A and B are shown apart, each in its own frame.
Chain A
C-alpha cells in the first residue's frame, strides 16, 4: 500500500529526476563522506558574487586564535534529562558533550578528516599488560565544576568507579561495553587501584575497546555527588568538560560558559560562551542567521537553502566537513522469499545509480558555483565518515564484488530475468522509509523509485511512522518485518558513524545486534564480525573490516543505498575553525564536537 496515492505511481525519466534535483528536498543528514576537509578552494567563479568566499581565505592553521565572543547557533534537540548515564534516549548526549568528559576521546583532524585515533581525556594514558587487562591512568589535574557540591575538586577513580557502576546497571548503551549485559562486549570487572588508576578486566581481547571508551554513546564520567544525592543529575550538570551549563530553558535554549579550569586550557576554549537555541524550524534558523543573531548554522539549514542564504547574508561563508549518517536497505529476509535470492538483491543494487541519486539530493553544482570542489562518495555498508575503516566501493581496492554496486541496467535486467522477473512479471516491492531518520524521505524515495524503474523494477513507497510501525515492525524485527506486504526497508544503519566500525557491525549487522538488519541469516558474517572485534593488531583489524565490507556487498546482505557529498553549512566569516577542525564520525555538531573541535573555534572581535 502506498501512503502517497498517486505519487508512487508516477515515474520520472532520468532527465526528470535530474531536473527535479533543483527543487529536491535536501537532507543534510545524508550518508557519510570521507571529505577532504582542507579548504583551500578557489573563491567564486565568474557567476558568483565576488563578496562570497567559500571557506577561509587562507590556511586557517596559520591564524592566531583569539579569545572571546559567544558562539550562537541552534539545535533541534530538547534535552529530556541531563543524566546521560540513565537517559532512555540520546537527548542527554548533546549537553554531556559540553559539560562532561569521556574516559578517552578521538583526536580531531586539522585540515583533514579525523583519523579515528584515540587520545586521552579523563584517562591521560593507558596500558595493556596483557590482552585481558586495560589499566587507565587518570589525569591528576582534572577538576569538576567550581559550583557546589563539586566545588572544583579533582576527579578521582571513585568517580570513574561509580560512573561505571551506574553505566553497567542502567545505561541503554551498556551492551557495547559490559560483558554481563552482552556477551559480545568485553568488560567484566572494574576496580580502583588507587585514586588515579582504574583497572578494567576483559572477557576477551577487544581490539575496539579504546574506540568504544571514546565513543560519545559510551561512558561520560559523572561526579560521585550525582550518584549520592549531592545534586540532581537530571536537572543539573557538574562536569569536567570544556563548558559549564549555566542556564537551560526547556524548548528554548541552553547557555554554556567557558570552563576556565578545563584540562585542555588555559587558552581553550577560545569562545567565552556558547548559546544554543532550540529551534525545530529551518526558516527561523535562517532568519536568525540573516539577522546576525547566529554565527553558525548548526547543521539545521537545508542544503538547498545554503547558497541563497550565503548570497544574501553579508560576511557569511559556506563551510564543509565530513557528514555523519547513512542509509542502507535491510531486506525482509525472514518473511519474504523474494529476497532470499542473492541475484535479486544484487540486481536492485545494480539498477540504482548512486551518482545520479547524489546529484538529485545534494545538488553539488550549487556548491561548486561557490568554488567548492565536491566529490560524490558511495557508502559501503559502512559510512565514509569512518575514515580508513570505510572501503570505497567504487575503488579498485574493493575487488570484484564492487561490481554489484556499479550502475549497470543491462546486467541488472539479466539477473532479474534469471530470477524469473521480466517486464510481464516485474519485480515489485515496497520501500518502508521513516521521516524520523530521513526528513528528505520524499525526495529520496521518489528519486530511487525513478532510478529503479529503468530496470523495470516497481517500487512502492510507504511512509512508515517511526514509533508505531518502524521500530516494532522493522527495526526490532530481526528481518521479519511485520504487517507489511513486503519487502525492503530503509534504515539508518551503520554507516551511522558512531565510535568505530565494530560498533556499527555489532549493533546493526550481527545476529545479536539490537537493531540487526541481518537477523540470523548470515552466520558467516557473525563469525567475521566476532573475529574483527577480537583482533588486537590495528592493521589486521582494518584488513578484516575491509573484508567484511567485501563479503557484505558480494552477498548484498544489505544494500548501501546512499551516496553523498561533503556536508555543508553556513557560518559567519568571523567564526574560524569550523570546517578546519573535524571530529571523528563527521558533522559539525555531534555529541563529541565540543570536546574535540568546538573548543578550537574562535571569533574575531
Chain B
C-alpha cells in the first residue's frame, strides 16, 4: 500500500507541472490582455513609465516562455509570486483563506452525507412506500433547486418573516468556535442540501442492487438483526460507487463555495479565485490552480486507497 501511495505521489508531480503550463499559456494566449493596463484604466490617466516599472517588478516583461521559466525558477526557491493587486505573496493570501473554504466545504459534505446516506438507505429499504416516494420527490427537489437561489430565499424570507439576518462578522474556528459555527451553520446546510438530493438517489440505487443479492437473503435467513444486515452488509457493499462520486466532488467542495462565500460574507478561496480570474491576476491564478490541481490529485489518491479499505478484495496495483 505505501509503495503504491509513493508511486502515485511521484507521478503527480509532472501532472501538476503540466497543469501550470496549460493554465499559464492558456490564459495568456487566449486572453492576451495587458494586466497592468486593465488595472490602471480605472483612473483615466496614463503613465507609461510607471506601467513599465510595474510590469518589470512583477515579471511581466519578455516572451511568455521566459516569463513562465522565471516564475518556475522562483517557485523552486519558495517564492510562488505576488498578487499584482495586493502586492502580497499569493501563498500568504491563499493559506489565510483555505481553512474557511475547507471548513465550509467539508461541513457541507458532512450535511450531504448525513442526509443522503440514511435517507437513501431508508428509501431503498421501504421501496415503493410513502417514505420512498417522499424521499425520491424530495431528492429531486433538492437537486433541482440551485443552492445559491435557496440561500437568497432564506435570506429574504428570513428577514421578512422573522427579522433574522445571518451573522456576518467572521471569526476563524480556532479563535471563536461558537461565533464561527453560528455563521457557518446556515451556508453549510444550504450548500450540502443540493448534492444530498443526488446522493439520496445514488444510495438508493446502489442499495437496491445489493439488497437483492443472495448473501443478503442468507444474512436475514441466519437471523441477523435487520440493522446489522443493512448497515454492515448492504451499505458497506454499496459504498464503492458512492465513495467514487463523493471523492471526485472533493475539490469542488472548495472551489464551489464562491457564491456562498459572497452571500454569507465568508473570506474563502472561491472569492479570491473569482477576483483573480476577473482581473487576470496571473500569479494568483497560477498558484491557486496549482493548489487545486494538487488537491484533485490527492483526493483521487484518497479515493483509490479507500477502495482497498472498504473492500479488502481489491488489490491496489504494485502491492
Interface residues in chain A, defined as those with a beta carbon under 8 Å from any beta carbon in chain B: 78, 80-81, 83, 88-91, 169-176, 181-182, 217, 234, 249-253, 277-281, 283-284, 286-288, 290-293, 312, 466-468, 471-472, 475-476, 496, 498, 503-504, 507-508, 512-515
Q: Mark B260-290, 1 if CB is under 8 A from A, else 0.
A: 0111111110011001001110000000000
**B44 contacts A by Cβ under 8 Å:** yes
**B87 contacts A by Cβ under 8 Å:** yes
| C-alpha gap A246/B261 in the complex (Å) | 24
Majority-rule SS of A interface residues: loop
In this complex, the interface size class of chain B, counting residues with CB under 8 Å from chain A, is: 35 or more
User: How near does chain A come to B263, taking the closest CB pair, in angstroms?
Assistant: 5
Given contacts A250-B96, A291-B164, contact A514 B267 (CB under 8 A): no
**B46 contacts A by Cβ under 8 Å:** yes
Please tell me if the beta carbons of A472 and B168 are within 8 angstroms of each other in the complex. Answer: no
Kindly list chain A residues whose C-beta atoms are within 8 Å of the C-beta of B76.
none
Can you name 27 A-B residue pairings with CB atoms under 8 Å?
Answer: A80-B85, A172-B45, A174-B45, A174-B50, A182-B45, A182-B46, A250-B93, A251-B265, A251-B268, A278-B265, A279-B168, A281-B152, A281-B263, A284-B155, A284-B168, A286-B156, A287-B164, A287-B165, A290-B159, A290-B163, A293-B165, A466-B38, A467-B279, A468-B31, A472-B33, A472-B37, A476-B37
Given contacts A170-B50, A283-B156, contact A472 B279 (CB under 8 A): no
Max count, chain B CB within 10 A of own CB: residue among A252, A284, A293, A468: A284
Q: Which residue of B lies closest to A235 (CB)?
A: B88
Please tell me if the beta carbons of B166 and A287 are within 8 angstroms of each other in the complex. Answer: yes
Partner of B158, one of A170, A287, A476: A287
Q: Which residue of B lies closest to A507 (CB)?
A: B44
User: How near does chain B come to A80, taking the closest CB pair, in angstroms?
Assistant: 4
| C-alpha gap A251/B152 in the complex (Å) | 19
Kindly list chain B residues whose C-beta atoms are within 8 Å of the C-beta of A312.
160
Please tell me if the beta carbons of A467 and B43 are within 8 angstroms of each other in the complex. Answer: no
Please tell me if the beta carbons of B50 and A172 are within 8 angstroms of each other in the complex. Answer: yes
User: How near does chain A come to B4, taking the closest CB pair, in angstroms?
Assistant: 40
List the 7 shortest-distance A-B pairs measured between CB atoms, nearest first: A507-B44, A514-B46, A175-B45, A291-B165, A287-B159, A251-B267, A80-B85
Please tell me if the beta carbons of B280 and A182 are within 8 angstroms of each other in the complex. Answer: no
Max count, chain B CB within 10 A of own CB: residue among A78, A171, A471: A471
Kindly list chain A residues whose C-beta atoms are within 8 Å of the C-beta of B275.
78
Partner of B43, one of A90, A283, A472: A90
Please tell me if the beta carbons of B168 and A471 are within 8 angstroms of each other in the complex. Answer: no
| C-alpha gap A281/B187 in the complex (Å) | 14
**B49 contacts A by Cβ under 8 Å:** yes
Please tell me if the beta carbons of B54 and A88 are within 8 angstroms of each other in the complex. Answer: yes
Partner of A169, one of B50, B156, B279: B50
Please tell me if the beta carbons of B47 and A283 are within 8 angstroms of each other in the complex. Answer: no
Please tell me if the beta carbons of B265 and A172 are within 8 angstroms of each other in the complex. Answer: no
Partner of A467, one of B38, B166, B170: B38
Partner of A81, one of B46, B87, B152: B87
Given contacts A88-B54, A287-B156, contact A174 B278 (CB under 8 A): no
Q: Which residue of B lies closest to A185 (CB)?
A: B45
Given contacts A251-B261, A283-B156, contact A88 B169 (CB under 8 A): no
Kindly list chain A residues whose C-beta atoms are within 8 Å of the C-beta of B84.
88
Partner of A249, one of B54, B267, B272: B267
